Chain A
Amino acid sequence: MNIYSQVTESMLFNHLSRLFNEKTKSMKRVLLLFVLLLMVGFQAFAQTHQVVGKVLDETGQGFPGAGVSVKGTAIGTVTDVNGSFTLDVPDGTKSLTIQAVGYTSQDVAITGESMLVHLKVTSRELEGTVVTALAVKREKRELGYASTTLSNQDLTNGNNTSALSALEGKVAGANITSSTGGPGGSTRVVLRGEKSFNGNNNALIIIDGVITNNFDRTQTNQLEQIDFGNSANDIDPDDIESVTVLNGAQAAALYGSIGANGAIMYTTKSGKSRNNTNKKLEITYKATYTQSDILKYMDLQHQFGQGNIYQGIADDRRENFSWGLPFDNQPRPWGQQINGQQLVKPYSDQPDNIKSFFNHGKDLNNYLSLAGGTETSSYFLSINSLNSTGVVPNTFYDKYSIRFNGSTELGNNFYSSININYINNYSKSPNSGQNIGSVLGNLYQTARDIPTWELKQLGNQFYSMAFPDSSGVTRYGYYGAYYKNPYWVAQNFSNIDRTDRVLGDITLGYKKGKFDVFNRLGADISSDSRYFQSPAFNSQPVETAFYGGDNYVSPGGYSENYAKSMHMNNDLIGRFTQAFNQDFGMTLLGGANAKFYQDRGLFSSIDPKTNGLVIPGYYNFQNAQGPILVQNTLTDTRSFGLYGDLSLNYRKEIFIDATARNDWSSTLETGNNSIFYPSVSGSWVFTERLKGKVKDNILNFGKLRAGYAGIGNSAPAYANQPAGYVQGSVASAFGTVIFPFNNVPGYQISSTVGTPALKPEFTKTFEIGTDLSFFRDKVSFSFTYYDAQTSNQIDAVPLPASSGFSFETINVGNISNKGEEITARVTPISTKSGLRVTLFGTYTHNVSEVTGLTGGASQVSLGGLNGMAIVAAEGHPYGEFYGTDFQKTPDGHVIVDPTTGLPLIGTKSTFEGSYQPKFIASFGADITYKGFRLHVLFNDKQGGVFYSQDKVNADFNGTTSETGYNNRQPYVWANSVNATTSSTGVVTYTTNTTKFVPYNYYTNVEQFVPAAGLVNASYVKLQEASLYYSIPNRYYKRSPFGSLEVGVFGTNLILWTAKSNKYNDPEETSAGAAGNGQGFNFTANPSLRNYGVTLKATF
């Protein structure tokens, strides 16, 4: 035993156990721990000797490109064209690990002579171990349900900073939406369709067997959104050893209620315990530099500039309208006259005046890990820093994290492990949406001839938003009378998020023979602080007479939002494994779970709309003009559960698995709060019955599987509690009167009615599928059909105001999700020269339908704005758009006004399609050749629509390309008709020939027709592309490097959208990850293309 490591481990245990007691000192302790571990790392590089050998494939040919390494270290090489290798290994090394894609990894003892290793084929996709519920590892062949397992390499190929976004295109059955695709942006993962109306539809995130809190940091209100991401993205992809996605409820049944949405199970890296005394530390360092650009800009017109030739001043200098004269490229003054001076520019198109505003996002990601172990212990430590600046000026996202995983055998059959991860986020994000502080909202109001890049000189009076004139009056010299300089907005509005989070678990177990009993305490403790600064301003235009306007007035505001949460889960689990005879075996698992969740929120605000700052620029609650709005949100939820799992196996051929769980939840009334959920699944590896040629050469693996599960879901905290009274706050559409009113306090009844007899939600799900592998695993295929029926949905359903209330929490309805998932993988080329080509693809098809609503509701609102609602309506898919369309004939022709030629606006809201894609498919290829790895992945979503407020706004402004159509001359609305009603009420339609004036349509009709803002959401994306090269060991044999890899990569690289989508990446959303009002782009943050270089070295 090494004395250092002994000391370290005992101290380590002390420190980590104290961490949970002394939260305040936790950071210091983790740092101390880190230093101690570094000391352990001071290991000299041992003496080495050379080992030579050859690797042969199943046909006896030399196999090139196989990995040969010293087990548990980074010392390694790859075989050459002939399959031969030479490797310097430390003295005392007893075995080598041989790895090759498509073959079983094997440890081979070093013989002292030239080694000869025969590779053994495996079913890469279909066999091997899978991490299942409660972090129980099981053989994949045993499972009666679908799952996908990805390795660290699969996750990090694109160097996505989000461990969720990195799953996109790789998991059948998952609908993943990365709102920006850049660092810190939020990611929504829905497995097999949305099952809850207004509840959380995101998959459960499990790290090392422990449920984590995936909360949404996005701040959203009607007019503005600030995307601070969701907390599942805190985890560093480089720390992840593997991830298993359990799509269905069967898979997650043991997690109880919150497993209904499926689960994503991350297993983090750990040190490998060693069975010899040569304790060497493995160090991995990885540096990645990534640059980001906006993926898709709106198509703009390039013919007409600022002004309004239709109803205003043709070349109006104040305008955000581009309804002016055609470009003539002549010099023309623009902006305000200041002291008799005025700017002059040619009246020309500025093709890139929106693009030029944005920076390249820059992101430097540093990662260092240390792993090591002794015979009985292992440890893993990593630190990560991610520093990025955003595409919007003055925005950034920084993340630091430290992880420690350690395990040890304590003696006397006891064992213990600890995983702990500290994460610190610090980010500044732009306002999106359409409020005064929205950077993009202001930028997109720029006319086509404005040289945006000049506006960044905020000190120049012509671009300034506030400077004192000679008489001391604050003026703005900026050209626009209706919107603000976007650079000024980016500089003066500030949204900061700071997060400290510790999550992890401690396990203590006892294992002897067939028994394994352990207790795992998991905790996820986070403290989130958000600070929002809104500047005070009050400036008049210089040219008061012409600019008029007293538009730029705000007293300034400040808000702080604190969210603290402590989510604890304790599981006590016992396992008993018994083989009755050679053919029969069983495993019995029993457990008890206690959940203890505390969430504490405090929101304080000096709202510029109702209050204000006394001294501008002093962002402090001392500095308020009036009463500060303070709101507490305190929630406690607890539950207790008992569960059991019986697995039977017969001859490694037939497997039956039955689980049962009962939960008692704090959020339902006694009598309703006991929820029982059973599941049963089975698999039959029928190829065990096949012998000889068919099995060896054609179908080498085949399995049929089927499963059923019922999963209950409890209510949110207080959902069944009666309405109470809250402080009075009387809001109109944009203003609020708050109490105390002139020192008189006021209360009002709260707006949500609870239902005391709320019942738990229940999802019944059935799935059937097969996994097949052909031609010695050259072709593998997996298919699943599932049917999930969710009933007794608990939701706060909007009420008509005439009931006196706005929401009622009830069991509202049922939703059905049915679909198919397919994963396929083909290896068409695998040559002796080491070239190996693997193609893979996934297909996801989910049909969602709201099958029943109770309580008289015809639909439940999920979100939306400006007359376009997103609803769950009976008989329609989840997420259907509902709003007013044009008046149309029964066969879909638009009815226009015979005098103006303009389409008539419908009088009723209609269903306009859903944001759900019809199907999702992905296609990718991995090509390896010697040390090279090339990876490409295309992702495709087809069908569905999204609502683009950007389109509606830019059409109104006359900047989109369609507003330049036909040179703005009147034209006839395509396929339009006129309607005439006879005296007897018979309506006849005749072909319309009246032309309409585009200006009239875009400024005065379209904005009142929400359906005109809907855009085809189909797309194909080059999701990932990367090329890596492992530099052969021979170049740095004498250096401390064990391996060196360099690579170039990109994510979100190219986007192909439907031809009619000239506006946005359909993935951009204003709803964040948790919001169910997806498919709604209300000037959302743009999505990003990321590309960069990376270097990875091991020592």
Chain B
Amino acid sequence: MFIKKQILLASMIGLVFGVSSCKRYLDVNKNPNVTPTATPATLLPTSQMYVASAMGVDLQVNGSIWAEYWTQDPSASQYRTLEQYQPTQSTYETPWLNLYTAAENFYQLDKLAASLKKKQYVAISFIMKAYTFQVLTDGWGDIPFKEALKGLPSDGGITSPHYDAQQVVYTGILAYLDSANALLDPSDVTKPGVDDLIYGGDMTKWQAFSNTLRLKILMRMSAVDPAGAQAGINALYATGPSFIDESNDAQINFSTTAGNKNPFYAEAIGVGGTQNVVGSSTIIDTMNADDDYRAFIDYEYVASAGVPVGIKQGAYDAVVAAGSYSLPTPYMAGDASAADASNAFGYSSASAPVKFLTSYESAFLQAEAVVRFGVAGDDAALFMQGVHASIYTYAYAYAAEDLELADYPQTSVNGDTITSPIFLTPDFAYYSYFNGDTIYGAPPAYWGQYPTSGSMTEKLRFIITQKWLSMCGSQGFEAWTEYRRTGYPDFLVISSNSLIGNEFPKRFLYPSSESTENSNYPGLKSITDKVWWDLL
């Protein structure tokens, strides 16, 4: 008995000292919850998705409200502060975080891909970083750029990056595109495949994306740095550039699969299916007055009116009966109640795409380059090409809406008397827009009548206003940004709940994560402070 106990005691002592004297006992600090390595093919889609989330949710809503596509649904309250032109810093936490997270992952991707000699991944990373940083600087002005993304100790461990002037960011993102151009090679066998959610690894399309993005960047500089913009555009056109053309919109397509739904729709599900946005009368009235059938694609029609009906911008406190105004359609991911495939035609908000750069945006940028910078080209044709692209990008929707209009009980559409069932097709919508509605004898659309022999100002007025009409429901942030640059359309109205008087918002607010965590934070800029290129 005693002997046994002694052995037991001795072995216990041995256990304690034997095990713990061993360094191996303490060597358990490798984190099993993360993997130290990833592959370019797994980083690319996530990085792209972060941009899509920012562009598809926060910037889409904020942009669409300030571009007066959408307005707060009176039965809900989520975006009232946007209508009041008084968002808080916390409004911008998520988009800022998601855009910088995207950029960080592109940064890690380009380093990883470069080390593995996968040049096309590097090229896409540079292009997408340029895109992402332009969005950031257009939204917020001066931003961390040169010192940004370097939080990892191995990247320099910069946890409070300095802010760079917007002009510096612009120079930097143009350099990113130069770096990408030097690497782009459609025949490279190491290019991505399905992991490239935007173009499936088609590097020819990425070249067009890069060129179109460069055009967009240079055009934004057109007022503040005309000479630099002119030089950049001359250099670009000297290469005989390709641009994004019809059916090649840079976008990510979503699906009705759970977890893979359009992020704005996912947001709507997240708040219990609450409908938060409805059509703004600013654009719907314009479209209705103009026989612009895109209204039927962008907005659900109101049966009693026979056309889509908007609410006055910002009038969320108005007393309006449910059903008397239009929601954005599922094609724009704007109908919160459009559960998967609940649209009679098989389209749902869940599967609506998020668009980054579009063929119509590309055409209008090219038209502006002709008008403003005198590059060779036919601005009127490019203008019509833009309208065409904006209609045909939703060809599937017109095909579906055919049925809807055929069953239409009303006797008039847009004030025109119906004499036979309407079969709305993209062709019909496009033809009627430029030539008048021959079936009903309506006059041609005002915003479709490009002033071929007008002044530059007049031409730009039409190009940008038409771009605004085209981007409705899909590129809210870009439309608001172009409004800030050009002042077009010139008929936006001050929100009826503005708390900043007779002024439009000119920028986003820095999120409080910057003001509280970044020791090099330069201080809050007011929402009415203009960004660098905004000279209006």
Contacts and interface: CB of A to CB of B under 8 A. Distances in A.
30 contacts: A412-B2, A508-B12, A519-B12, A546-B321, A550-B273, A554-B273, A555-B258, A572-B12, A610-B258, A611-B259, A627-B258, A636-B29, A724-B34, A726-B35, A730-B52, A733-B57, A737-B260, A737-B261, A742-B255, A744-B45, A744-B195, A745-B45, A746-B42, A750-B34, A798-B513, A800-B161, A803-B160, A858-B519, A1008-B81, A1008-B88
Nearest to B516: A859
A549 interface: yes
A398 interface: no
A551 B272 contact: yes
Interface string A904-937: 0101110000000000000000000000000000
Contacts of B154: 722
Given A551-B272, A611-B259, A627-B258, 20 more contacts: A412-B2, A519-B16, A550-B275, A555-B258, A572-B16, A666-B26, A718-B31, A723-B152, A726-B33, A733-B94, A734-B267, A737-B259, A749-B38, A756-B153, A801-B101, A801-B513, A803-B148, A803-B150, A856-B159, A907-B524
Contacts of B28: 636-638, 666
A802 B105 contact: no
A570 B513 CA distance: 44
Nearest to A756: B153
A414 interface: yes
B274 A551 contact: yes
Nearest to B100: A801
Interface residues of A, number: 117
Contacts of B49: 728, 730, 737, 739, 741, 746
Given A634-B32, A728-B45, A735 B273 contact: no
Contacts, number: 342
B26 A639 contact: yes
Contact of A801 (B19, B35, B42, B96): B96
Identify the interface centre among A552, A627, A665, A735: most chain B CB within 10 Å of its CB: A735
A457 to B, nearest CB: 24
B57 A735 contact: yes
A730 B17 contact: no
Given A725-B38, A804-B104, A855-B159, A311 B266 contact: no
B243 to A, nearest CB: 27
Given A732-B266, A734-B271, A806 B322 contact: no
A748 B272 contact: no
A555 B257 CA distance: 13
A858 B272 contact: no
A744 B48 CA distance: 12
A738 interface: yes
A806 B97 contact: yes
A803 to B, nearest CB: 4
A909 B259 contact: no
Interface string B270-285: 1111110000000000
Contact of B30 (A627, A721, A726): A721
Contacts of B511: 801
A609 B266 contact: yes
B258 to A, nearest CB: 3
Nearest to A484: B272
A159 interface: no
A121 B34 CA distance: 64
B272 A594 contact: no
Contacts of A804: 100-101, 103-104, 107, 148-152
Interface in B213-267: 254-255, 257-261, 263-267
A44 interface: no
Nearest to A624: B258
Contacts of B13: 519, 572
B46 A748 contact: yes
A726 B517 CA distance: 24
Given A664-B26, A730-B53, A722 B152 contact: yes
B30 A805 contact: no
A861 interface: yes
B11 to A, nearest CB: 10
A916 B476 CA distance: 46
Contacts of A723: 34, 152
Interface in A294-326: 311-313
A626 B97 contact: no
Identify the interface centre among A312, A737, A856: most chain B CB within 10 Å of its CB: A737
A34 interface: no
A806 to B, nearest CB: 7
Interface in B97-139: 97-98, 100-101, 103-105, 107-108
A964 to B, nearest CB: 22
A639 B23 CA distance: 11
B47 interface: yes
B403 interface: no
Contacts of A650: none
Contacts of A519: 9, 12-13, 16
B423 interface: no
A749 B108 contact: yes
Given A311-B317, A800-B517, A640 B25 contact: yes
Given A410-B5, A735-B266, A753-B153, A547 B322 contact: yes
B413 interface: no
B322 to A, nearest CB: 3
Given A748-B43, A804-B103, A732 B322 contact: no
Nearest to A853: B519
B34 A411 contact: no
Contacts of B267: 732-735
Contact of B75 (A521, A548, A608, A806): A548
A771 interface: no
Contacts of B272: 436, 551-554
B339 interface: yes
A877 interface: no
A1 interface: no
B514 A801 contact: yes
B48 to A, nearest CB: 9
Nearest to B319: A312
A364 interface: no
Contact of B263 (A552, A555, A730, A884): A730
Nearest to B322: A548
B38 A869 contact: no
Nearest to A316: B319
Nearest to A609: B270
Contacts of B321: 545-546
